[in-house]
Amino acid sequence: MLDPSQYFTIPFDTWVNDFVRGFLVPNFRPFFRALQVPVNQVLMALDTFLAWVPMLAMTAIFALLAWRIVGKSMALVTIFGFLFVDLIGLWPDTMTTLAMILTSVIFCTILGVPVGILVARSDTTWKIVRPILDVMQTVPSFVYLVPIVMLFGVGMAPGIIATIIFALPPIIRMTNLGIRNVRTDLIEASEAFGATYSQTLFEVQLPLAMRTIMAGLNQTLMLAMSMVVIAALIGAGGLGQVVNTGLGRLDVGGATAGGLGIVVLAIVLDRITQGLVEPSDPNRMTFRQALGTLFSGQKRPPIKQESGSRAAFKGSPIP
Amino acid sequence: MTVKLTAKNVSKLFNDDSGEGARRLAAGESKEEIFKATGVTVGIDDVSFEVQEGEIFVIMGLSGSGKSTIVRTLNGLIPPTSGSIVIDDVDVASCSKEALRNVRRQKITMVFQHFALFPHKTIIDNVAFGLKLKGVDKDERHKQALASLAKVGLDAYANSYPSQLSGGMQQRVGLARGLANDPEILLMDEPFGALDPLIRREMQDELIVLQKELKKTIVFITHDLNEAMILGDRIAIMKDGAFVQVGTAQEIVSDPADDYVRAFVSDIDRSRVFKVSDISNDAAWVKVDATARDALGVMDKAKSDLAYVVERGVPVGLLMRSDALQCPRNTPVREVMFAEPPTISEEAFLNEVYGAAQGGVPMAVTDDDGKLVGVVSQDDIFEQLAADEEEPEAPTEETDEQKQKPAANQPASE
């Protein structure tokens, strides 16, 4: 009785249909198609490369990274996890998923870090970008698929584009946060010595924000991971497809195997990227240092520790 | 002495987009009234000063007095609302960004209260930072940075990280970073404020030693009047964004401009402010080949009970009236004088001469060449130290008197 919809309805779905089908698709289809090209190329290159690297070599690389950045136990987890995935016959799918995730993360970084820098620089931009990010994060991931399919079609690249949109906000937020949280007196010091804006950015702000940006990267990676299964619904391959196929055929075993593969990959990637964010000792290792020490003998960067610095201070020669 | 830096009618109002605050300030309203009516904070209110080349100009004030704001206007970190700041013909307040950057790179550097060392860079890279911004290549800038580190005695720590150094050491690095660019002007924003008192004293002494060698123009900010007195060639006392008094330490202690300054000065360790030359009196003196008669004549004339025996200007002995009276009048003074009288340098601060004053004998005051320029007795010292507390008006008159007459009768000049 007291329901306005009895007397009056808004044809919202028709409006959207008209807008998308009648305007966006006919006019902008080539544009959206073109957007897929770089994504496709990066994805193909990565996929080919990862498929080419032998399973044992790949496991060794990841185990080494895990050992250097996190520790011995994580290296063991990596080895056994990857071995298990290989033995249950999902290695190629895992590598496809890895290629997809890496592609998404690469594009998220390329887009997210500059946007983060931009919004960190001006409050006005941040006020505009922030609600957009909020919307991007609150829209359920399934809902993304609708316009994506309409505009991009189905397949790997649309799946990855959906993933990029879904996983982009954290890295923007964290880049913004990291740069804004750099101590103001350090910025002042940089300016006082005559730094240009880009000198301050690259010499001071970015290096000091790097840990926060890495935390953003970790979150972005995890979000991309969580999108794997959903993106498979529109034709993105890899482990997500295994899970979906299993679900469709009520093949509990197949679905579980795919799920386990995702879990193993997620744990390894998460721990390694987290290791970059919060190293155990105060002389923290940055990503570059981690890469640098990968092939040298030491676990930590060579920082000379002076003992008895206090005594040396008292006795230091003053000209 | 040439003027290195001129600040003229500098004002800074925060949140004053409409210019309403500036109008009210010009109309003579107080800081509080303006803030209540418009929400505008007056940071600096029409401050003008000049800094001479090679001097340490100290700006002293409590927190909120605007001293940190004013030092930041000097290198353009905070652009003033009005006024000009001229460094070697460049007006920092109105020049282009490019010109300002060049001034910062070539002429003026800064040392910060909380050191502001870059935690991700090694000590040597911190020190070389300014040079890197200028585009000096790596070998050269490391060479210069190492030389600068050596000046503060920390060259051994070149490859450490700031977090591995104590606070005092970190601030030495901050100082080395400021010096590495070889600037003409060094801004120091409460550089020792975050250090514990012992280290602070050490750093102050060290800065004085360094400054003797470097002769930089230094603008030094502090909230500690004692520190201001120790370091400053001239001191500006700041309150509510304006200068209350500008002068040497001695001028400020002996002649405070108002009650605000007087309240500060009452806590000051006067023995670290006044030098021997401030209280030295004329000394009666005779040449070393004179006789007791000559000496008595000199003492009578000077109404003194003692006379110094001087050889080529240098005090070599002290003759008391009683000794001179007891011997025949034509005895050479050489035979009746005390040899090697206690001497103190006219440049010494009073707290450095307590030890010598214990002897009870008046002390000969000498200049850099060791020549006699005056005499100071124990009583003179204590009078100067106690002056302020006992009779508030006394020190003013006393010091003025001293300034009017030359401190000594200059035997050395003959």
Nearest CA-CA distance, residue A195 and chain B, Å: 6
How would residue B276 be classed by pLDDT, with cut points 50, 70 and 90?
Answer: confident
Among chain B residues, the shortest Cα distance to A209 is held by B120
Instruction: Flag if A193 and B75 touch (Cβ within 8 Å).
Output: no
Q: Say whether pLDDT at A267 is over 80.
A: yes
A152 vs A314, which has greater pLDDT?
Answer: A152
Which of A164-178, A289-303, B298-312 is predicted with the least confidence, judged by mean pLDDT?
A289-303
> Tell me: the pLDDT tens digits for B89-145?
888 888 888 888 888 888 899 999 888 899 989 999 999 998 998 888 999 999 999
Among chain B residues, the shortest Cα distance to A304 is held by B160
In contact, A50 and A92? CB cutoff 8 Å: no
B125 vs A153, which has greater pLDDT?
Answer: B125
> Tell me: the pLDDT tens digits for A161-197?
989 988 999 999 999 999 999 998 899 999 999 899 9
Q: What is the β-pairing status of strands B242-247 and B234-239?
A: antiparallel
How would residue A300 be classed by pLDDT, with cut points 50, 70 and 90?
Answer: very low
At B162, list the tokens: 């700031």
Q: Where are the beta strands (DSSP E) in B53-150?
A: 56-61, 82-87, 90-91, 108-111
Beta bridge pairs of residue B308: B285, B318
CATH architecture of B3-107+183-268: 3-Layer(aba) Sandwich (3.40)
A308 CB near a chain B CB, below 8 Å?
no
Interatomic CA distance for residues B106 and B96, integer angstroms: 15
When scoring A187, A191, A193 by the number of chain B Cβ atoms within 10 A, the one with the most, hence best to mutate, is A193
Residue-level pLDDT at B200: 86
Q: Say whether pLDDT at A281 is over 70.
A: no
Query: Could you give the residue range(s) of every CATH 3.10.580.10 domain in chain B?
Result: 276-413
Average pLDDT, chain B: 81
At B346, list the tokens: 């006219």
Residues belonging to chain A: 319
What average pLDDT does this structure show over B200-212?
87
In contact, B256 and B245? CB cutoff 8 Å: yes
Query: What's the number of CA atoms in the CB half-sphere (13 Å) around residue B2?
Result: 5
In contact, B183 and B109? CB cutoff 8 Å: yes
Nearest CA-CA distance, residue A310 and chain B, Å: 7
Nearest CA-CA distance, residue A303 and chain B, Å: 7
Q: Say whether pLDDT at B242 is over 80.
A: yes
How would residue B250 be classed by pLDDT, with cut points 50, 70 and 90?
Answer: confident
Query: What's the number of CA atoms in the CB half-sphere (13 Å) around residue B14?
Result: 12
Residue B252 CB-density burial (10 A; 0-12 exposed, 13-18 middle, 19+ buried): buried
How would residue A279 be classed by pLDDT, with cut points 50, 70 and 90?
Answer: low
Q: Say whether pLDDT at A291 is over 70.
A: no
Residue-level pLDDT at A294: 55
Residue-level pLDDT at A264: 92
Interatomic CA distance for residues B1 and B33, integer angstroms: 42
Query: Could you give the residue range(s) of every CATH 3.40.50.300 domain in chain B?
Result: 3-107+183-268
> Tell me: the pLDDT tens digits for B130-185?
899 888 899 999 999 998 888 888 888 888 899 888 888 898 899 899 888 889 89
Of A286, A309, A317, the CB nearest to B165: A309
Instruction: Flag if B168 and A203 touch (Cβ within 8 Å).
Output: no
B164 CB near a chain A CB, below 8 Å?
yes
Question: CA nearest A143: which of A214, A233, A271?
Answer: A233
Instruction: Work out the percent of chain A whose per-residue pLDDT is above 90.
Output: 43
Chain B CB contacts of A203 below 8 Å: 118, 129, 132-133
ipTM: 0.71
Question: CA nearest A157: which of A80, A280, A42, A11?
Answer: A42
Instruction: Flag if B118 and A185 touch (Cβ within 8 Å).
Output: no
Residue-level pLDDT at B302: 79
Q: Say whether pLDDT at A229 is over 60.
A: yes
Q: Say whether pLDDT at A286 is over 60.
A: no
How would residue A97 be classed by pLDDT, with cut points 50, 70 and 90?
Answer: very high
Residue-level pLDDT at A144: 79
Interatomic CA distance for residues B172 and B154, integer angstroms: 8
Residue-level pLDDT at A298: 47
> Tell me: the pLDDT tens digits for A103-112?
999 999 999 9
Beta bridge pairs of residue B108: B185
DSSP annotation of B349 = B
Chain B CB contacts of A191 below 8 Å: 77, 104
Average pLDDT, chain A: 84
> Which CATH code, of 3.40.120.10, 3.40.50.720, 3.40.50.300, 3.10.580.10, is assigned to B276-413?
3.10.580.10
Interatomic CA distance for residues B372 and B310, integer angstroms: 8
How would residue A1 be classed by pLDDT, with cut points 50, 70 and 90?
Answer: low
Residues A32-278+286-291: name the CATH superfamily. MetI-like (1.10.3720.10)
Q: How many CB atoms lie within 10 A of CB B409?
A: 16
B159 CB near a chain A CB, below 8 Å?
yes
Residue-level pLDDT at A314: 38
Instruction: Flag if A204 and B102 touch (Cβ within 8 Å).
Output: no
Q: Say whether pLDDT at B234 is over 60.
A: yes
In contact, A181 and A212? CB cutoff 8 Å: yes
Q: Say whether pLDDT at A247 is over 70.
A: yes
Instruction: Work out the percent of chain B whose per-residue pLDDT is above 90.
Output: 7
How would residue B328 be classed by pLDDT, with cut points 50, 70 and 90?
Answer: confident
Which of A37-51, A58-72, B261-275 is predicted with the least confidence, judged by mean pLDDT?
B261-275
A193 CB near a chain B CB, below 8 Å?
yes
> Tell me: the pLDDT tens digits for B345-386?
887 877 777 777 777 777 888 888 878 888 887 777 777 777
Kindly report the three-state secondary structure assignment for every residue of chain A: CCCHHHCCCCCHHHHHHHHHHHHHHHHHHHHHHHHHHHHHHHHHHHHHHHHHCCHHHHHHHHHHHHHHHCCHHHHHHHHHHHHHHHHCCCHHHHHHHHHHHHHHHHHHHHHHHHHHHHHHHCHHHHHHHHHHHHHHHHCCHHHHHHHHHHHHCCCHHHHHHHHHHHHHHHHHHHHHHHHHCCCHHHHHHHHHCCCCHHHHHHHHHHHHHHHHHHHHHHHHHHHHHHHHHHHHCCCCCCHHHHHHHHHHCCCHHHHHHHHHHHHHHHHHHHHHHHHHHCCCCCCCCCHHHHHHHHCCCCCCCCCCCCCCHHHHHHCCCCC
Which of A157-171, A196-210, A247-261, B274-288 is predicted with the least confidence, judged by mean pLDDT?
B274-288
Beta bridge pairs of residue B287: B310
Residue given tokens 């490391």 in the structure block: B142
Among chain A residues, the shortest Cα distance to B155 is held by A316
Instruction: Work out the percent of chain B whose per-residue pLDDT is above 70.
Output: 93
Nearest CA-CA distance, residue B200 and chain A, Å: 13
Nearest CA-CA distance, residue B77 and chain A, Å: 7
